[in-house]
Structure 1
Amino acid sequence: MKKNYKKLLLAFTFLLVLPLTLLASCGKDSGHTVKIGIMGGDTRVWKAVQQRVKKEGVDLQLVQFTDYSQPNNALTNKEVDINAFQNYAFQDNWNTAHHTKIVAIGKTIFSPLTLYSKKVSSLKDLKDGASVAVANDVTNEARGLKLLASAGLIKLKNTSLPTPSDITENKKHLKIVPLDAAQTPRALADEDAAVVNGNFALDSNLSSKDILFKEPTNKASIPYINIISANKSDANNKYYKKVVKAYQTQATKDLLKKLYKGENIPAWDINFNK
């Protein structure tokens, strides 16, 4: 009888402990791998985020790409889980053109577009017929042309995505040279000037002394705020949200200021409507 009693007592104790063990196991976050697609060779900010989010149970793996057509294809094909390279305007245009459902899950930076030259030192020195390289993808070409208009070099039709055919005034008879965005820094050796995206300017170590004009930061900048993106079906993934939270910190702000000295502006808590 005593042996049977002991067996029953052990069995009863096991049944009581098992649910508590399972509950504790379910409540504990054992970690998760997240692959993020990024552009460019400078990963210092993302490596810092990688270390912070690791404490939250996320193994953040950085997957680097070399041109703007790759990260969204990789996202759609589930080769990466999220990406961080594009702005709202680029994402909207991509979704329309490729019938995808990619959404923003967090803001990162605003990187002003800049007109550089190694041949002249000011806008007024651009000669008649000067050649200016701009990125050839729809969004960045439009943004580059708007930059030239802001600089007073051309005038454009009132359209959201202007192309060279929408130039209505070109007093200097500038020759617009569309190139792959990654090639625009190299074009400075041949062209009189080039409109270069921030990530490619940083990768190419372009000097601030070669700047002719920089994109202003105001309400018109909002479509060009860079974002972390995911497929719509994954927009509420808790691990992806942890990555966003780990990025949007004072530590990231401090590092951006230290590394880029105002070239990459933290955008998640700035009022651009001023």
Structure 2
Amino acid sequence: MKKSKKLLLFAVTLFTAFLLVSCGNNKKSSSSTGTEEKTVKVGIIGSDERVWDSIKPQLKKKGINIKLVQFTNYDQPDQALNSGDIDLNSYQHIFYLNNWNKAHHADLVPIGNTIIAPLAVYSKKIKSIKDLKKGDEVSIPNDATNQARALQLLESAKLITLKSNVELPTPNDVIKNPKKLKITPLDASQTPRSMNDVAIAIVNNNVALDAKLDPSTAIYTEKITKKSKPWVNIIAAQKKDKNNKTYKEVVKAYQTEAVAKKIKEVYKGSTIAAWNYKF
């Protein structure tokens, strides 16, 4: 019996020592700086990956590991953020976020400005927007906010007239259409492909870049004015995380001169860093 007790005591001591060594090793391996590394999942769409990749080393030094999660549909990143599958997303403007929150009874919030990306008109069939003929087809993004923005662009080009005082106009709000243009809403990602079938396509900037469209070939570009403020893109988080210190570090790392230069490089000068922009 005494021998059994000694063996049991020895086994317990050995197991305890093993646990202590294991825990010590795990703590040491968590970070070379001695602090636990935090992984932040950021939902993006398209070519923003190259911009975000440029800030990863800076955040890594602060114990923050950025994991980019690519999406292909505009609705997906907000769904993922709202459900907690990702921590932040960076792809949408303020107007889109507000509209998405309203439609889904959600309370996602902006925690930092990123860029403003003008919509542009592309064509394989005409060289100038003035060359549009009666009955020509125009493709535009079909999500509520970018559809409204595209229609306002057509109005600024004096191609249509919209009802006044409509916050988010739809094709049903066109009251004058002298050229009888056929306006076809499509998923934003499909607008570049539609160029084989339509006279002009109005394309979001990041979608255009992913489709290898050169911004310098656009035949008309949205003007940036004081009215453009709702179209500023943002980093979004859940409301409970709006003051999260780690996420604030992510915003701080993004809003730098080095990132502004990277944005200009990646988007070939067609996109503007918006955190210091004067509207």
Q: Which TM-score tier does this pair reach, normalised by the shorter chain?
A: 0.7 to 0.9
Identity of aligned residues (%): 50
1:149 aligns with 2:155: yes
Structure 2 unaligned runs (5+)?
1-33
Partners of 2:215 and 2:270 within 8 A in 1: no
SS in structure 1 opposite 2:55? helix
In 2, distance between residues paired with 1:99 and 1:42? 27
Distance in 2 (alpha carbons) for counterparts of 1:79 and 1:225: 24
Cα offset, 1:43, TM superposition: 1.4
Does residue 1:45 correspond to 2:51, yes or no?
yes
2:179 equivalent among 172, 181, 185: 172
1:105, 1:85 → 2: CA distance? Answer: 13
2:233 to 210, 219, 226: 226
Q: Distance in 2 between matches of 1:185 and 1:64?
A: 19
1:41/1:64 contact within 8 Å kept: no
1:77-92 alignment runs, 5 A limit: 77-92=83-98
Deviation string for 1:32-69 (max 9, x for gaps)?
11000000145111001112111111011000000101
Cα distance per residue 1:106-159 (max 9 Å; x no partner) = 000000011111100001111111100011111111111011111111110121
Other structure's SS at 1:127 match = coil
Give the structure 2 partner of residue 127 of structure 1: 133
Whole-angstrom CA distance in 1 between matches of 2:103 and 2:121? 28
Query: What residue in structure 1 maps to residue 223 of structure 2?
Result: 216
Secondary structure at 1:60 match in 2: strand
Stretches of structure 1 that go unaligned for 5 or more consecutive residues are 1-27
Q: Does 1:184 align with 2:191?
A: yes
What is the CA–CA distance in structure 1 between the aligned matches of 2:267 and 2:47, rounded to whole Å? Answer: 14
Structure 2 length as normaliser, TM-score? 0.85
Query: Equivalents in 2 of 1:135, 1:260: separation in Å?
Result: 20
Question: Is 1:136 the counterpart of 2:164 in the alignment?
Answer: no
Deviation of the 1:256 alpha carbon? 1.6
Structure 1 consecutive aligned stretches of length 4 or more whose deviation exceeds 6 Å? none
- C-alpha contact 2:215 2:268 (8 A) present in aligned 1: no
Q: Deviations over 1:215-245 (max 9, x none)?
A: 1011111000000000101111111111100
Work out whether residues 59 and 250 of structure 2, in 8 Å CA contact, stay in contact via their aligned partners in 1.
yes
Please tell me the root mean square deviation across aligned C-alpha atoms, in Å. Answer: 1.1
